[in-house]
Chains A and B, each alone.
Chain A
């Protein structure tokens, strides 16, 4: 069993990037990343090692992102005063900002798949996180990259 602190240090940035890819909103992403680690902390004693710890964490993070579908309907974020104080992350600029924006315009599952791919996860692991076949992951990644390349054709350096 890995120590939570160790997991936290090792995975925080990676989970945060996944959340940023999905949400493209620094404060919101930080929030969802935190919720992810709260769940990891709660569930860690029950983790049996059926999947690699990284796969397990990214599954929780992806699901936490998808849960925002329900959150957004129930309570618009502007109604949550506690979030205001947390907006201290530096917003990305230039091409980086454009990439995250382009990703956030994709469909929900595409956002998760491409974020995991860019994070450098093997396609077999992405397949296991998302719950589709490896072949399907490959096809989807190919299509998503085409879409992103197409979007970057309109990048004007802003």
Chain B
């Protein structure tokens, strides 16, 4: 039987203690975490630089004649850049939290950030597919004309068959997989926020 406030407090303080870990180890860990975040950032940027070099190389090496080809290349590269930006930690600055707010504000902040993430992920995914499809369609015009009507048509059919599969099958599946955990978190955060209002 437990009905005394002091008993609860005594129990609370009595049994639980963990030796404080060595302070140097703790701070080493802090620096490691920071360095890892920085490395991730550098790698993300490196990919961007490499992609830019790739744009220049394709342009110089193949010397496309038609404007549509050039626009197509730019769109495809944009799609890739968008993908890299979204999939590396480069969007992290949008999701940086202030860890020393009061709980109610912190919950509201976490919820806002997750909702923004959900929105961004949906938007970026759609933009990625639209840019890539439009880019490829434009890019292929120059070469499809060279192939002649029949082979040109086949080339387009194959390409857009693949894009269609990606849009109608792969995209919704990926979206579900990526959005499900975010939605779960949002739902749970809303529940926790409600607890404070009850």
Q: Are the C-beta atoms of A63 and B196 separated by less than 8 Å?
A: no
Q: Are the C-beta atoms of A73 and B185 separated by less than 8 Å?
A: yes
Q: How many residues of A contact B (CB 8 A)?
A: 62
Closest chain B CB from A45 CB (angstroms)? 13
Determine if B33 is an interface residue (Cβ-Cβ < 8 Å): yes
Q: How many residues of B contact A (CB 8 A)?
A: 43
A16 to B12, CA, bound (A): 12
Given contacts A73-B184, A120-B9, contact A128 B102 (CB under 8 A): yes
Find chain B residues with CB under 8 A from A149 CB: 2-3
Q: Are the C-beta atoms of A29 and B18 separated by less than 8 Å?
A: yes
**Supplied contacts A69-B185, A118-B9, 14 more A-B pairs, CB within 8 Å:** A4-B23, A30-B18, A33-B18, A59-B102, A66-B192, A67-B110, A73-B185, A93-B15, A100-B16, A110-B195, A129-B102, A131-B106, A145-B5, A149-B2
Binding site for A on B (CB under 8 A): 1-3, 5, 8-9, 11-21, 23, 26-27, 29-30, 33, 97, 99-107, 110, 114, 181, 184-185, 188-189, 192, 195-196
Binding site for B on A (CB under 8 A): 4-5, 8-9, 12-13, 16-17, 20-21, 26, 29-30, 33-34, 37-39, 41-43, 47, 56, 59-60, 62-64, 66-67, 69-70, 73-74, 89, 92-93, 95-97, 99-100, 107-110, 112, 115, 118-120, 128-132, 145, 148-149, 152-153, 155
